[in-house]
A and B are shown apart, each in its own frame.
Chain A
Amino acid sequence: MLENLTDRLGSALRNLRGMGRISEENIAESLQEVRKALLGADVQFRVARDFIERVKEKSLGQDVIKSVTPGQQIVKIIHDELAALLGEGTTQFTDKKPLRVLMLGLQGSGKTTFTAKLAKHLAKKGYRPAVIACDVYRPAAIDQLETLARQVGVDFYGERDSKDVPAIGRRGWEWAKAQGCDAILFDTAGRLQIDSPLIDEVKRLRDAVLPDEVLLVGDAALGQEAVNVAKTFHEAVPLTGIVLTKIDGDTRGGAALSMKAVTHVPIKFLGTGEKVEDLEVFHPDRLASRILGMGDVVSLVEKAQETIDEDEALRMADKMQRADFNFEDFLTQMRAMRKMGSLGSIMKMIPGMGKMQVGEKEEKRLKHSEALIQSMTPKERRNPNILNGSRRARIARGAGLEIKELNALIKQFAQMKNMMRMMKGAKGKKMMKQMQKKGGLPGGGDFPGGLPGGLGL
């Protein structure tokens, strides 16, 4: 992952400081950085270039605000512009009834899974959905949709002995209507946008079932070709919306901007996992932050708010400030953190921390630390100074771990407290910066099985 855009812009923007106004010359270097960030996020070359032009027009002549750094100001302009572009149009899904929806996309993009997800979503909204299997090519594609339909509890229509896709679609529609269904979703085979016979087929299907919505289902991690894919599909069968799947991966998702920029149709949904409930409505803000590599701060904050008692967090932050932090607090923090998800997934959401390697090893260490602390008496937790040799032996035995692991934990704990003490000073700020840059903690990135300040949100 690239570093936080604000950090990257830091040096490029130094020349802006003290200038009264953003001008063509003083912004050139930073725009170059932004361009790199966009390309690194897989935004298509031309789309990136046009976007930079837009940002330039917006920023030229603006006064450099005194209260924020020029970097922050420019990042804000870029971020807002990006969010505006991504959020253009009605991102809310139609509430028309009866409703027919046609899925379209490349192979393996997630059409069948999304069809089931949308059926579930619409059922919750009071529709009676049916799904129609119009993929007659991929082995077991019909079985897949049928299984998912059963899982979601919606009606299913498919024909195993016909290859006439428009006819299947038409009969599916009639059948579903007869069942009293008022949301009819047509799952189609994956196809390349350049495959004329198959594009022709989907056109005929469209003419047979006259969908109200035609959704392009696209993988969020698509590369530069996202532009050609979306454009060509849109020309062949005019789209009404875009769905981005597999956003639960760690892609920056620049393809979304590419697809959006060439079709101008709204992004409607995000696929956030393999399960049928893993569907989210679209938030332009969050995707903008993600594309720019600024971390999904909004999601992190929301997640934290859901799981952490605010008073508790404040108390913790306060304790840390005073470097008065014991094993008891450490344990509380660790548990709260665990509730939020894996360490790795949390780190990825923190701006600038995405590069930090948090894998199974760290998770395991965290578990060991937890076991060790649990094996301490409350008195020992509050007062680590009393941990003599015999106490240590008992604790290690209780946790089923070696004494050297406990020693390491105690040592790291002491270092951590030390660090907190330092963070209070001016030196601390500098250190945090360094830490973000290197993607690890100072001193070779030794990770003390818990992150100070991780919850000081």
Chain B
Amino acid sequence: MRSFFAKFKEGLKKTTPTFFKAFSAIGGIFGSRVLDAAALDELEEALYGADFGVETTDDILSEIRKAFKTNKQLRGLDAARIGAQVLKDVLAEAEGRLDTFTHKPEIIVLIGVNGSGKTTTTAKLAKLYRDAGHRPLVGACDTFRAAANEQIRTWCERLAIPLVASQHGADAAAVAYDAFEAARKREADVLLLDTAGRLHNKENLMRELSKIRRVLQKHDERAPHHAWLVVDGSIGSNSIEQARVFHREFGLTGLVVTKLDGTSRGGALVGIFRELKLPIYFVGLGEQPDDLQPFRVDHYADALFGLDNQKEQA
């Protein structure tokens, strides 16, 4: 498996995204050059450009300014290191890990707004766990979107993953229940439930989620054991509001951030973590089944500040 690191860098090679140039500028071109006011402005722009939001941007900038005050010889590379460190501190404990299971089946529900990548992530996770020697089963609880069933079925057939699905328009909670029964009967280790996309401000759709929970709890009162919000990494500050509401209404246990193979840096995840302390389990880096990697804070922070190249050169 390629590392997140390698994958991230590969994603970067596809392009020279403007702000990333700025980041690299801080870590790279300016690397040995002494910082000046213009470079600090550029840094500020780059930080906003990563969707860090006001708070994190301010935190990073103030640390760098502080260092700048005491050391007028501060170089770009130093600033990048400071920035990455602030990020690492903020994100300490943000790595989610789920390699071994304590329930049988371990139930993971994937929820999120429309088009965020839930179905694709469900398929990728099923493959990842199967490749690690577990027995996955997928429940197709999106009975609403046109051809949602066909989409997850195609994925599961392609990857040879067992699937429980129903008809379009069926009760999502009933599918969840059937999938749970099937998982027990077939002794699956992990049950992945894909759900329909819903905007967090639609209360009737949020209620449907509670129903899924209630139905699962008939068998196991701790179910679902994991409720992961699938967040599109190219979305801005609204993903913080999404997480806030899904967490309040359903109770989340973690996040998966998708589409980080684009030029977006998914900085909103920092805002989500700051506020809700929800660990990030995986990041999605493409549309292929293997394009899912465990989230690693160091890799993320270093790649963002262009420190990965530096390390390699050293």
Do A and B interact with each other, yes or no? yes
Chain A residues packing against B (C-beta within 8 Å): 1, 36, 39-42, 44-46, 106-110, 137-141, 143-144, 146-148, 151, 192-196, 219, 221-226, 228-229, 246, 248-252, 254-255, 274, 342, 344-345, 348, 359-360, 363
- CB neighbours of B239 from chain A (8 A): 221
- Contacts A107-B259, A222-B235, A225-B262 known; A139 to B154 CB distance under 8 Å? yes
Within 8 A of A (CB), among B255-276: 259, 261-264, 267-268
A425 to B85, CA, bound (A): 55
Chain A residue numbers with a CB within 8 Å of B267 are: 223
Q: A144-B150, A222-B234, A274-B144 are in contact. List 14 more A-B contacts (CB 8 A).
A: A39-B54, A42-B51, A42-B236, A140-B147, A140-B148, A143-B146, A143-B151, A151-B146, A192-B262, A195-B14, A221-B236, A224-B50, A229-B263, A249-B238
Contact A110-B150, Cβ < 8 Å, known A194-B17, A196-B14, A223-B236: no
Asked if B113 lies at the interface with its beta carbon under 8 angstroms from chain A, I say yes
Tell yes or no: B207 within 8 A of A by CB: yes
Per-position 1/0 for B106-141, Cβ under 8 A of A? 000000011111000000000000000000000000
Q: Is the interface of A mostly helix, strand, loop or mixed?
A: loop
Taken residue by residue from 35 to 66, chain B's Cβ proximity to chain A (1 for < 8 Å, 0 otherwise) reads as: 00000000011001111011000000000000
**Nearest chain A CB to B203's CB is how many angstroms away?**
6
Task: List the A side residues contacting B147 at CB < 8 Å.
Answer: 140-141, 143-144, 146-147
A148 to B155, CA, bound (A): 21
A223 close to B145 (CB less than 8 A):
no
Residue with the highest number of chain B CB atoms closer than 10 Å, among A110, A219, A223, A228: A223
| Nearest-neighbor residue (CB-CB) of B15 within chain A | A194
Tell me whether B185 is interfacial, beta carbon within 8 Å.
no
Minimum distance in angstroms from B78 CB to a CB of chain A: 23
B200 within 8 A of A: yes
A305 to B146, CA, bound (A): 34
Tell me the smallest distance from the CB of B262 to a CB of chain A, in Å.
Answer: 5
Q: Do residues A147 and B235 form an inter-chain contact, with CB atoms below 8 A?
A: no
CB proximity of A196 to chain B, nearest CB, Å: 7
A348 contacts B201, CB within 8 Å?
Answer: yes
Q: Which of B115, B116, B236 has the most CB of A within 10 A?
A: B236
Assess the B199–A345 pair: CB atoms within 8 A.
Answer: no
Q: Decide: B154 and A249 in contact? CB cutoff 8 A.
A: no
Contact of A249 among B148, B151, B200 (CB under 8 A): B200
Nearest-neighbor residue (CB-CB) of A248 within chain B: B199
Contact check, B14 vs A110: say whether CB atoms are below 8 A apart. Answer: no
| Contact A139-B150, Cβ < 8 Å, known A45-B48, A107-B259, A219-B115 | yes
Tell me if B241 counts as interface (CB < 8 A to partner A): yes
Inter-chain CA distance A288–B274, complex, in Å, is: 29
List B contacts of A226 (CB < 8 A): 236
Quick one: CB contact mask for B5-30 with A, threshold 8 Å, 1 for yes?
Answer: 00000000011011100000000000
Question: Is there contact, CB below 8 Å, between B146 and A223?
Answer: no
Cross-chain contact of A138 among B151, B158, B268 (Cβ < 8 A): B151
The 3 closest A-B pairs by CB, nearest first: A223-B236, A108-B115, A42-B236
Q: For residue A344, which residue of chain B has the nearest CB?
A: B203
Query: Can you show 8 pairs from A to B with CB atoms below 8 A apart?
Result: A44-B49, A110-B115, A143-B147, A146-B147, A193-B263, A221-B238, A223-B267, A360-B203
Smallest CB separation, B17 vs chain A (Å): 6
- Of B14, B54, B154, the contact of A140 (CB 8 Å cutoff): B154
Cβ 8 A contact of A143, one of B117, B150, B261: B150
| Residue of B whose beta carbon sits closest to that of A254 | B236
Given contacts A109-B115, A194-B17, A344-B203, contact A223 B263 (CB under 8 A): no
Q: Which residues of A contact B151 (CB under 8 A)?
A: 138-141, 143-144
Q: Does B221 contact A (CB under 8 A)?
A: no
A147 / chain B contacts, CB cutoff of 8 Å = 146-147
Give the residue name and chain of the B residue nearest to A147 (CB).
B146
Residue of A140, A146, A222 with highest tally of chain B CB at under 10 A: A140
Distance in angstroms from B313 CB to nearest chain A CB is: 25
**In the docked arrangement, what's the CA distance between A229 and B241, Å?**
23
In the complex, what residues of A have CB within 8 A of residue B148's CB?
140
* Structural contact, A45 and B235, CB atoms closer than 8 A: no
Cβ-defined contact, B237 with A223, below 8 A: yes
Question: Cβ of B146 and Cβ of A148 under 8 Å apart?
Answer: yes
Interface residues of B in 210-267 (CB under 8 A from A): 232, 234-239, 241, 248-249, 259, 261-264, 267
Q: Which residues from B are CB-within-8-Å of A251?
A: 236, 238, 241
User: In the assembled complex, how far is the CB of residue B21 from the closest CB belonging to chain A, in whole angstroms?
Assistant: 11
Docked CA distance A224–B264 (Å): 8
Min C-beta distance of A351 to chain B, whole Å: 17
A107 touching B287 by the CB < 8 A rule?
yes
Answer whether A246 and B113 are a contact pair too, CB < 8 Å, given A45-B49, A363-B203. yes
User: What is the CA–CA distance of A110 and B145 in the complex, to the nearest angstrom?
Assistant: 12
Known contacts A139-B150, A251-B238; A345/B201 CB under 8 A: yes
Check B238–A140 contact: CB distance below 8 A. Answer: no
User: Chain A residues near B197 (CB, 8 Å)?
Assistant: 274
Which of B49, B116, B147, B232 has most A Cβ within 10 Å? B147
Shortest C-beta distance, B239 to chain A (Å), equals 7
Q: Shortest CB–CB separation between residue B38 and chain A, in angstroms?
A: 14
Shortest beta-carbon distance from B198 to chain A in Å: 9
How far does the Cβ of B214 sit from chain A's closest Cβ, in whole Å? 14
Residues of B with C-beta under 8 A to A45: 44-45, 48-49
Most buried by A among B150, B237, B267, B268: B237
Q: Which of A107, A194, A195, A250 meets B238, CB within 8 Å?
A: A250
What residue of chain B has the Cβ atom nearest to residue A116's Cβ?
B146
Give the distance to chain B from A34, nearest Cβ to Cβ, in Å.
14
The answer to whether B261 and A224 touch across the interface, beta carbons within 8 angstroms, is no
